[in-house]
Amino acid sequence: ENKIDLLVHNIGRLVTMQGQGEAGPRTGNAMAQVGEISKGAVAIVDGTIYAVGSEDEVRAKIAGMNVAQELDAEGRLVTPGLIDAHTHLVHGGSREHELDLKLKGVSYLDILASGGGILSTVRSTRKATEQELYDKARRSLDIMLLQGMTTVEAKSGYGLTLEDELKQLTVARSLNETHPVELVSTFMGAHAVPEEYKGRADEYVDLVINVMLPEVKRQGLAQFCDVFCEHGVFTVEQSRKILTAAKELGFGIKIHADEIEPMGGAQLAGELGCISAEHLLAATDEGFAAMQQAGTVAVCLPATSFNLRLKTHARARRMIEMGVPVAISTDYNPGSSPTESIQLVMTLGCLNLGLTPEEVMTAITVNAAHAIGKANTVGSLEVGKQADLVIFNANNLAYLPYHFGINHVNTVVKRGRVVVA
C-alpha cells in the first residue's frame, strides 16, 4: 500500500473504544474504559482503518504515502460509528392515535389485548406494499445516519404470516444493499399472536417453528431470531420452544425478556445462551446471574420506559455490578418507542439508567456490536476494522448526553466514505 484514501486529523479527543485485551463484551469497570486519545488522527485505506492514534504516531506511520483526501476535525470529538442493536425498523403506519389512550392511563398490554398496539401495526404492515415499507424505513434510516448511527439491527414481526414476514425481511435486505447504514436482520415472527390465531397461540408457535423459521433460513434473510416473552404474549415455555428450534437451525437467538412482568425471561436467556436479552425492567438478580454465566448482553431501552411512562427503569447499575455487559438502544418502533434518536437515548441512559457518559459510549459501540455479532468489524477504532466514525460538534464525551434533545453530529464516515457532511 502506498496511498491513504482518507486522513481524519486534528481530532481534539479521539474515543477509540480500544479495550485492555479482553475480546468479549465489556462489563464492570471495563465499561468505563473508552480508550481516549487527545490530538488524534485516523488514516483509512479501502474502507478499513490503516492507522489510528495520536496525530504524531499516525503521521509517522503514513510518512511517504500519498493522502488522497484530508478531513480536518478542527479539534472536535470523534467516536466510532454508533450502533443501534435493537430496532423494529420496517413497518407500516404509525400509532399517534394511541397517545390519547396512554394519557388516559390505559396500559401498553391492555391496548394490545384489545387488538391495538402491535396488532394495529400488523394490519398496516400487511396492507403496505414492499415499496411503501421500503420508502418509510429508508426515511428512518436517513434520520439514524444523521444521528451518527452506522450499523443498525432490524427486526421483522409486524407481518405474522410467512408472506408478510418475508416481505419485511426482504425490505431490510434491499435497504442494506442500497443505504449507507449497515443492517443486521432479526426474524421476530413471535412478536405477537396474530388476531386470526387468537386463543390458539400454540398453533401459531408451531407455524413459526415449522414453516417460518425454515423458510427464513432457506432464503438467508435473517441472522437472528427474537421472541416477545411477556404476560399475554408468549410464555416462557413457548419462547423456549421457538428459540431452541431457531438455535438448531443455526440462528443466533435474542429475547424480549421481563419487560413488564418478571417471568423468568432473563433466566431463559442464560439457559439457552442468547446473544442478548432486551428490556429487562422486571428481571431479578437470579436472571442477571444466568445472563452473566452465559455472557448474554443486556440491551436496555430507556426511551421505551420513558415513552410508556413506566415508573421504573432497568437496573443497569446492578447488571454492571454483577458482571452483565450492558448495551443501550432506541428500540425504534411505532408503539413503545417512536424515535430514531440514539442521542436522546444516550441522555436517558445517563439520567434514567445512571450510566456515566463513558459507559453510555461503550453501550452504543462495543457492547452493541457484540449484541448483534458484529464485534469483529465494528464498534471500535482499531487497525483492520471498518472505518466507521462520527465527528461531533463537541469537544468531550460528557457534552453529548448533557446538552440534550438536539443533534450533535457534524460528519459521519461509513466504510471510509463521508456520508454525512
Q: Which residues are annotated as a binding site for 4-imidazolone-5-propanoate?
A: 95, 158, 191, 259, 336
User: Applying CB under 6 A, does 121 fall inside the site for ligand NIG?
Assistant: yes
3-state class (DSSP) for residue 188: strand
Nearer to ligand NIG, 84 or 388 (CB): 84
Q: How far is the CB of 331 from Fe ion (least distance, A)?
A: 5
Single out the residue of 288, 214, 229, 285 nearest to residue 259, CA to CA.
Answer: 229
Q: How many helices (H) and strands (E) does the chain have?
A: 17, 18
Nearer to Fe ion, 192 or 409 (CB): 192
Nearer to ligand NIG, 118 or 345 (CB): 118
Which residue shows C-alpha cell 453501550?
363
Nearer to ligand NIG, 121 or 185 (CB): 121
Q: How far is the CB of 217 from ligand NIG (least distance, A)?
A: 22
How far is it, in rounded angstroms, from Cα 361 to Cα 274?
23
* Size of the residue set binding ligand NIG (CB under 6 A): 14
Report residue 389 CA to chain centroid gap: 16
| Per-position x/- string for 329-368, each x denoting binding to Fe ion as judged by CB under 5 A, each - no binding | --x-------------------------------------
**Whether the Cβ atoms of residue 408 and residue 399 lie closer than 8 Å to each other:** yes
Q: Which of ligand NIG, Fe ion, none binds 386 (CB below 5-8 Å, type-dependent)? A: none
Q: How far is the CB of 333 from Fe ion (least distance, A)?
A: 6
CA distances to 189, 190, 216, 238, 414 from 206, rounded to whole Å, are 11, 11, 15, 9, 41
Nearer to Fe ion, 55 or 331 (CB): 331
How far is it, in rounded angstroms, from Cα 55 to Cα 57?
6
Which residue shows C-alpha cell 420513558?
306
Q: How far is the CB of 230 from Fe ion (least distance, A)?
A: 11
Kind plus residue range of the DSSP H or E element containing 301: none
Nearer to ligand NIG, 80 or 335 (CB): 335
3-state class (DSSP) for residue 245: helix
- Ramachandran category for residue 277: left, alpha or beta (phi over 0 → left; psi -120 to 50 → alpha): beta
**Whether the Cβ atoms of residue 268 and residue 257 lie closer than 8 Å to each other:** yes
| Per-position x/- string for 131-170, each x denoting binding to Fe ion as judged by CB under 5 A, each - no binding | ----------------------------------------
Residue list, annotated binding site for N-formimidoyl-L-glutamate:
158, 333, 335
Cell of 304: 421505551
What phi and psi values does residue 415 have, to the nearest 5 degrees?
50, 45
User: Applying CB under 6 A, does 116 fall inside the site for ligand NIG?
Assistant: no
How far is it, in rounded angstroms, from Cα 2 to Cα 61?
11
Nearer to ligand NIG, 73 or 112 (CB): 112
> CA torsion 254→256→262→264, rounded to 10°?
-20
Residues 272-331 that bind Fe ion (CB under 5 A): 331
Residue list, annotated binding site for Zn(2+):
86, 88, 256, 331
Candidate list 62, 82, 90, 118; residue touching ligand NIG; CB under 6 A? 118
- Backbone CA torsion sign across 390, 396, 397, 400: negative
Nearer to ligand NIG, 117 or 416 (CB): 117
Q: How far is the CB of 364 from ligand NIG (least distance, A)?
A: 17
3-state class (DSSP) for residue 162: helix
Q: Which stretch binds ligand NIG (CB under 6 A): 6-14, 19-27, 160-168, 328-336?
A: 328-336
Q: Which stretch binds ligand NIG (CB under 6 A): 123-131, 265-273, 312-320, 327-335?
A: 327-335
Neighbouring-strand partners of residue 84: 152
User: Applying CB under 5 A, does 388 fall inside the site for Fe ion?
Assistant: no
CB proximity list for 357: less than 8 A, separation 6 or greater = 346, 350, 397, 398, 400, 401, 402
How far is it, in rounded angstroms, from Cα 133 to Cα 400?
32
Residues 31-90 that bind ligand NIG (CB under 6 A): 88
Nearer to ligand NIG, 201 or 413 (CB): 201
Residue list, annotated binding site:
86, 88, 95, 158, 191, 256, 259, 331, 333, 335-336
Residues 331-390 that bind ligand NIG (CB under 6 A): 331, 333-337
Q: Which of Fe ion, ligand NIG, none binds 336 (CB below 5-8 Å, type-dependent)? A: ligand NIG
Binding site for ligand NIG (CB under 6 A): 88, 117-118, 121, 228, 256, 259, 304, 331, 333-337
Binding site for Fe ion (CB under 5 A): 331
